[in-house]
């Protein structure tokens, strides 16, 4: 019985700690690996030269472009915060890699938790430790001795001997152990900062480094470590007082998600957990990008800047920055060896755009016409003006011979022009809107407007003789165009009230509208000479078509005796 308890206690307390014999100075990983087979980063697929238009940021995936010959296997840990890809250093620590893969392939990391989190400021080391305990399936209560919700222990294989006990830099993977250097089993830790005190030095045996988190997954590790808090210790909880049995001592620094806040019960979803662990097949592993870190530089930030964001390259053109710039992506292995991948990023000006040129069909020649360049914009320098043209030579293409109708350089209210159509042709007329940006780049959009002849009447026949005051009279209106009465809205008759000889529809008196005579094809107006002056009274006749176009007024006289 005592042997069983002792065995469980030893496994439960498997740890990585500060301990005596810590190295006084940082030992570089490169120096520590001297004399061994070195890892080597290489460029699998170089970045091609690229030409882009405009100032929008460009995102370029980097997965699969760089490989590391020091990586023998890739494992994917599917965690509560996302997938973490780990490259294993077979050439440097084959026995340790084989041990880790044995747990992965046996499914013993599936449904486990990260049970320990430390920080440099309080513990002298910064690690996230897991692999030792299973995720409970029920809630853990905080009162009394719990009977449910206690993490179980991962079944372990035989301990392994310590190898490669150095190189504990940020994002590397190491074996946890007891004070016995050769006691490592299932537990591992991820270095969340450089931890030189965990390297072999003097009487300190060190901890076995056997893998590294690839650059594209490191943001997930950061999220696991901080859980949305700048201070990771704000998510660290001491659960020893609510646990019982030999495993209790392992739970003094448990990382939990921020919504726990120390309020029991502790739910299974409050742990940072590993759902599954699986080895990635070789073809897929090549696309993961097994590198310690990616960095990027731009030869000319005045043209474009560059950054690595979540394992991808983001190139951002500078405002008004155009021309070629050299972008260099550096892929660095965990041994600090690197490969530089340089390509040319050429930024050209963006031409302005507009969605449509809007106008109004069926306007009569001689009437004003509105033209609207809808959605005019420019991605980099802004719009200088919009010029409106008529296709004078009817070749369907904007050229220097076309007639400038108007210009608008004020974006307020949209780019538009009100143009005179006196010189337009009856039928289809091609209109151009030429959008010009501040770099004198231009885009032309086209629209066709259909023009009509102005409505009119050819002959106005007044009464044959003078009429008496109040007597009815008839005016014959012939040759009205449009000739189809269905296309005529009205033929209006006005009295020149002020006798100035000019139609003013707002002050002159509207006498009424003529009526169409289908038998003759003419229009007839019958009125009463009420309110007329003695002598000649001028009448104006104005034709309006169904599109609202107004003809030029014509006149006749009615004499009152």
Q: How does DSSP assign 251-292, residue by residue?
A: -SSEEB-TT-TT-SSBPGGGB-EEEEEEEPPHHHHTTT---S
In a domain, 297, yes or no: no
Residues 400 and 261 in one domain: no
Q: Are residues 90 and 183 in the same domain?
A: yes
Note whether residue 324 is domain-resident: no
pLDDT of residue 39: 52
Output the CA torsion sign for 107, 110, 111, 112: positive
CB 383 within 8 A of CB 352: yes
pLDDT at 25: 32
**Does one domain contain both 168 and 258?**
yes
Looking at the structure, tell me whether residues 175 and 278 fall in a common domain. Answer: yes
| Residue 365 and residue 235 share a domain | no
Domain boundary residue among 392, 418, 452? 452
Q: Which of 452, 486, 519 is where one domain is finished?
A: 452
Final residue in a domain of this structure, among 433, 452, 471: 452
- The per-residue b/e assignment along 245-276, b for 16 or more CB within 10 angstroms, e otherwise, is ebbbebbebbbbbeebeeebebbbebbbbbee
Q: Are residues 231 and 372 in the same domain?
A: no
- Cα 447 to chain centroid distance, Å, stands at 33
- Whether this prediction's pTM lies above 0.85 is answered by no
Q: Which residues lie closer than 8 Å to 96 by C-beta, 6 or more apart?
A: 160, 163, 164, 175, 184, 208, 210
Q: Count of domains in the chain? A: 3
Size of the chain, expressed as the number of residues it contains: 561
Residues 180 and 254 in one domain: yes
The pLDDT, as a whole number, for residue 289 is 54
Written as six digits, the tokens of 335 are 């041994």
pLDDT of residue 28: 32
Cα separation, 270 vs 227, in Å, equals 11
Is 384 buried (19+), middle (13-18) or exposed (0-12) by CB count in 10 A? middle
Average pLDDT of each block of 10 consecutive residues along the chain (561 residues)? Answer: 24 44 31 40 91 87 81 92 92 95 98 95 94 95 80 96 94 96 98 96 95 88 80 84 80 90 90 96 61 88 92 88 92 83 90 91 93 89 93 93 95 93 95 92 94 95 96 96 93 96 96 96 96 96 95 96 93
Show the domain range for 468.
459-560
pLDDT at 10: 31
Based on the fold, state whether residues 493 and 431 are members of the same structural domain. no
Q: Does residue 525 sit within a domain?
A: yes
Task: Find the angle CA(261)-CA(265)-CA(271) to the nearest 5 degrees.
Answer: 65
* Cβ-based burial of 13 (10 A; exposed 0-12, middle 13-18, buried ≥19): middle
Q: Do both 464 and 371 map to the same domain?
A: no
| Interatomic CA distance for residues 79 and 271, integer angstroms | 10
Which residues are CB-neighbours of 249 under 8 A, at least 6 positions away?
A: 9, 12, 13, 240
Q: How far apart are CA 436 and CA 439, in angstroms?
A: 8
Residue 494 inside a domain? The answer is yes
- Under the phi-then-psi rule, with left for phi > 0, alpha for psi from -120 to 50, and beta for the rest, what region is 188? beta
What is the pLDDT at residue 290? 60
In a domain, 168, yes or no: yes
Q: 276 vs 75, 108, 109, 113, 419, CA distance in Å? A: 10, 9, 7, 11, 71
Q: Which of 9, 56, 33 is nearest to 321 (CA)?
A: 56
Q: Confirm whether 344 is domain-assigned.
A: no
| CA 186/CA 190 separation, integer angstroms | 13
User: How far apart (Å, rounded) are the C-alpha atoms in residues 167 and 185?
Assistant: 20
Is residue 232 located within the same domain as residue 361?
no
């Amino acid at each position: 019985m005592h042997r069983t308890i002792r065995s469980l206690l030893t496994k439960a307390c498997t740890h990585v700690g500060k301990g005596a014999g810590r190295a006084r100075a940082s030992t570089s990983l490169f120096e520590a690996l001297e004399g061994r087979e070195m890892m080597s980063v290489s460029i699998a697929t170089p970045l091609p030269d690229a030409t882009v238009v405009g100032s929008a940021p460009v995102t370029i995936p980097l997965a699969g472009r760089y490989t590391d010959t020091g990586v023998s296997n890739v494992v994917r840990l599917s965690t509560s915060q996302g997938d973490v890809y780990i490259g294993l250093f077979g050439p440097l620590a084959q026995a340790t890699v084989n041990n880790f893969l044995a747990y992965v392939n046996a499914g013993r990391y599936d449904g486990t938790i990260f049970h320990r989190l430390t920080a440099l400021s309080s513990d002298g080391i910064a690690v996230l430790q897991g692999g030792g305990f299973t995720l409970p399936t029920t809630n853990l209560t905080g009162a009394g001795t719990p009977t449910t919700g206690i993490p179980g222990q991962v079944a372990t294989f035989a301990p392994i001997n310590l190898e490669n006990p150095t190189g504990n830099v940020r994002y590397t993977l190491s074996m946890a152990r007891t004070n016995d250097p050769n006691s490592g089993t299932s537990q591992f830790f991820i270095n969340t900062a450089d931890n030189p005190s965990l390297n072999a030095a003097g009487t300190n045996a060190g901890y076995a480094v056997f893998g590294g988190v690839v650059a594209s997954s490191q943001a997930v590790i950061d999220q696991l470590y901080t859980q949305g808090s700048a201070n990771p210790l704000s998510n660290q909880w001491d659960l020893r007082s609510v646990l019982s049995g030999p495993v209790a001592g392992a739970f003094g620094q448990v990382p939990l998600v921020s919504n726990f806040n120390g309020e029991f019960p502790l739910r299974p979803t409050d742990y940072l957990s590993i759902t599954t662990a699986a080895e990635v097949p070789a073809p897929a592993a090549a696309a993961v990008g097994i590198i310690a870190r990616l960095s990027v530089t731009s030869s000319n930030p005045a043209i474009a800047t560059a950054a690595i964001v979540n394992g991808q390259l983001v190139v951002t053109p500078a405002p008004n920055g155009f021309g070629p710039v050299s972008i260099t992506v550096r892929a660095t292995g965990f041994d600090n060896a690197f490969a530089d991948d340089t390509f040319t990023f050429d930024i050209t000006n963006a031409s302005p755009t507009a969605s449509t040129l809007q106008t109004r069909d069926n306007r009569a020649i001689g009437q004003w016409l509105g033209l609207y360049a809808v959605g005019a914009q420019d991605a980099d320098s802004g719009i200088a003006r919009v010029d409106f043209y008529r296709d004078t030579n009817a070749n369907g293409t904007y050229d220097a011979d076309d007639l400038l109708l108007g210009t608008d350089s004020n974006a307020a209210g949209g780019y538009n022009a009100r143009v005179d159509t006196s010189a337009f042709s009856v039928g289809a007329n091609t209109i151009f809107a030429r959008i010009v940006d501040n770099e004198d780049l231009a885009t032309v959009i086209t629209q066709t407007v259909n023009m009509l002849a102005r409505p009119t009447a050819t002959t106005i026949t007044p009464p044959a003789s003078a009429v008496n005051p109040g007597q009815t009279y008839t005016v014959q209106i012939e040759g009205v165009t449009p000739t189809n009465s269905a296309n005529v809205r009205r033929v209006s008759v006005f009295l020149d009230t002020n006798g100035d000889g000019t139609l003013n529809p707002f002050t002159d008196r509207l006498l009424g509208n003529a009526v169409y005579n289908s038998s003759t094809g003419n229009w007839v107006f019958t009125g009463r000479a009420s309110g007329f002056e003695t002598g000649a009274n001028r009448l104006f006749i104005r034709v309006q078509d169904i599109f609202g176009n107004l003809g030029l007024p014509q006149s006749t006289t009615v004499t009152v005796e």
